[in-house]
Structure 1
C-alpha cells in the first residue's frame, strides 16, 4: 500500500545537519513509519555550498535562501540545524507557514524566545521536536524503567556531567557558540546533562549555579581578539521534587574528553552508572547481592532493550550515535502521524532553557533559586 509522503526541508549542513539526514534516511529502513520521507530541499550559506550539499546528502533541490524552504508549499517539515541565534526566526517562520519543525537544541538563546516559539507552535497545531537524541538510547530507557519500577528504591542522589574538549584550545577562534546569543557551555552541552537528569529523576525544583569563563578572549578571525563572556564551564547543585539532591556539569574545555555524557544514580536499594563513551553498557549495583559478591554488574545492550533489536539481532554488537538520531526521527514521525505524543517537543525544550537560565541567574546572584 502506498504511503503518504512527508517532504523535508533542511536548513544547515554541518555536523547536526548531516546527523538529521542520517536519521531521515535510516529511520524508514529500520522502523515501520506512517510516511515515506522525501529529502526535498536543502539550504546552505552559498549557492555552491547548497549544490554540494544537495548532491552529497541526496536532496532533490538546493538553495542559498532558507526562506525558500519556508515559502515552498510542497514542504511539510522543516529541519533546523543552523546556529543557535537563528532558531527563533526560522522556527517562527516555519510555524506561521503551517509546517512541522524539528529544531536542534538549544531551542533558543533565551527562555522568553523559547516560550514564544512554543506558544506559536501550540496555537498553530504543528508538531515539534527538539534534538535531544541521547535520551533515545535504549540504555537510558532501561535506566528510567528501573528507577520507576523501584528497583533502586528511594532515589537519594544524582550526578550528571557532559564534558568535551572542542573549546579547550585558547587559540581557537571565536565562534557563534561564544556569542551571548549562542549560550555558552551550559546551554550548549550542559543542556544534555539537565535533560538526562530530569528524564531519569523527575523535575528539578531548586538550583545553585556556578558558571565560569576560563578563556576570556579568542582570535576573531580578522587578526584581532574578541572578548568572551559566556561560560566555558557551567555547574549546578540540584534539588529534585522527589527529595533527591544532585549535581550537573557542562564543560567544553575538558582536555581529552570527546563525549563524556555520564550519570550516576544512587538509591536505597541500588545504583546505576553510565557513560556515553561506552553507551551500549549500563552498570547496576544491587544491595541485595550477598556480601563478598557485591559490585557493579554490566548490562549489555541487546535485542531485549527495544528498539536495539531493529538495528542489530545480536547482543553486545552495539548501536551508534546516528542510530539514536534514527530513533528520535521515528518517534517524531509517529507524533506527526498522530500515533504517539511528541517525544521532546518545544515545550520540553523550553523547560531545559528555563533550567539553564535559572542556573545562570543563580551563578550571578550566588544563591539558591527556585525553578519556575
Structure 2
C-alpha cells in the first residue's frame, strides 16, 4: 500500500486510540503505511500537545484546514457525535476516506445523509465498533453460521459501565439531547451492533428507557443543576429476522462495572458466552456430551485465531483494547487499498442507529415497533 496521510480530529480518549492504532498497524500488518500528518482540536494547546506526544507532523485548531489539506487521505473523526455529520460531509466533499467514531450521528436522518453521501462519492468508510474485531467474536460468528449451536433460540446482551453513576457528574454533551439519546446510543450501540454481527438484522423492538439521575450540576462543583432528558438505562426486547428473540440492556449507571459488554447465545445444540471484561475467552457449552463431562469449555485466544498471531506468537498472552482498534484500522486500510471491506461502514452504522431511534420511539409509545 502507498503511504497515506492521516488527519485526526479530536485529542481525547478516542483521538489517542486512533493515533495509537495508526502507528501500530504498519508494524503489525506488513504493507500498510499510514502516516500521522495532522491532529486537530478546538483547543490549540491540546492539539500541540497531542502532536508532540503521538507523533503527528503538524497540528491545528481548525478542523476545516485538516480536511482541506492535500496531504490528508483519511480523516478520523473522534469528536462528540453532534459534530460528525458536518465533518463527514466536508471530508466526503474533499474526497477523503473517513474513520468515524460511534454512534455515527444523533439521528437516523443524519446517519442516512452521511451514508448516502459517502456511497455516492465512492469513499471508504469505517465506524469505531472495534469490539467486534476480536478474533474470538469472529470465531463465535463462524460457529453460529456453521450450525454448531443448532437453531438459535435466544440472545441476552448487555453493555454496562458506571462512568455516569455519580449524580454529581456534571452535565455535558453526553446527556445533551441535541446529541441524540443517552446510554442506548453511547454504549447500547455497541451491543446492538454486536447482536447484528452475530445473529443478523433485528426487525422489531419493544423498549423501556429510564432516566435514573434526573439532574446534574451545570459545571464541576456547581450548586445549580440542569434537568437530564436522556436515558441512563435502556432495556430492549428484540425480534431478529432469523426468527429468535432476545434482550439487550444498555446501562451507564451500573455501579462497579467498567466494561461489561457481553452476551449469551442459546441454541438447540449449544450455548456461547462472552464478556469483554475477559475478552480473550469465549465459553462454549455443547449439548449431548457424556454427562460426566458436561460443562462450559473455555476457548482461549491464541495464534490459531487470526490475526492474534500477528500481535503475539504465544497463546494466552492476551489482546487488549488498542489491539482491537489496530485490527479495525488494518481492515479499513485494506479496503482502501482495494481489498475486501469487513466494516462496519456508514451503512451498518446507519442500521444500528435505526434500532436506537426505534427503541426511543417504542419506549415513548409503550409498544412494539418495527425497525423500518
What's the offset of the Cα at 1:288?
Answer: 2.1
* Equivalent residues of 1:128, 1:342 under 8 A apart: no
- Measured against aligned partners, the alpha-carbon deviations of 1:211-259 in whole angstroms (never above 9, x if no partner) come to 1111111001165211110000011001111111101011000000000
Residue of structure 1 in register with 2:156 after alignment: 159
**1: CA distance, partners of 2:299 / 2:306:** 14
5 Å matches for 1:222-301? Answer: 223-301=223-301
1:171 and 2:168 are equivalent in the alignment = yes
What's the offset of the Cα at 1:46?
Answer: 2.0
2:51 to 32, 54, 72: 54
The TM-score with structure 1 as length reference comes to 0.98
* Equivalent residues of 1:84, 1:181 under 8 A apart: no
**1: CA distance, partners of 2:368 / 2:119:** 32
5 Å matches for 1:129-144? Answer: 129-144=126-141
**2: CA distance, partners of 1:247 / 1:272:** 15
What's the offset of the Cα at 1:5?
Answer: 1.1
5+ unaligned residues in a row in structure 2: which ranges? Answer: none
Residue of structure 2 in register with 1:198 after alignment: 196
From the superposition, tell whether residues 223 and 61 of structure 1 become closer, same or farther in structure 2 (CA, over 3 Å): farther
1:18 to 10, 16, 19: 16
What's the offset of the Cα at 1:341?
Answer: 1.9
Residue of structure 2 in register with 1:320 after alignment: 320
Aligned length: 369
Residue of structure 2 in register with 1:310 after alignment: 310
Bigger shift: residues 143-152 or 288-297: 288-297
- Measured against aligned partners, the alpha-carbon deviations of 1:134-176 in whole angstroms (never above 9, x if no partner) come to 0000110010010001000000000000000000000110111
**1: CA distance, partners of 2:342 / 2:278:** 28
**1: CA distance, partners of 2:164 / 2:43:** 27
From the superposition, tell whether residues 78 and 119 of structure 1 become closer, same or farther in structure 2 (CA, over 3 Å): same
Q: Secondary structure at the match of 1:292?
A: helix
Residue of structure 2 in register with 1:341 after alignment: 341
Residue of structure 1 in register with 2:370 after alignment: 370
What's the offset of the Cα at 1:81?
Answer: 0.3
Moved over 2 A (4+): none
Residue of structure 2 in register with 1:128 after alignment: 125
What's the offset of the Cα at 1:342?
Answer: 4.7
5+ unaligned residues in a row in structure 1: which ranges? Answer: none
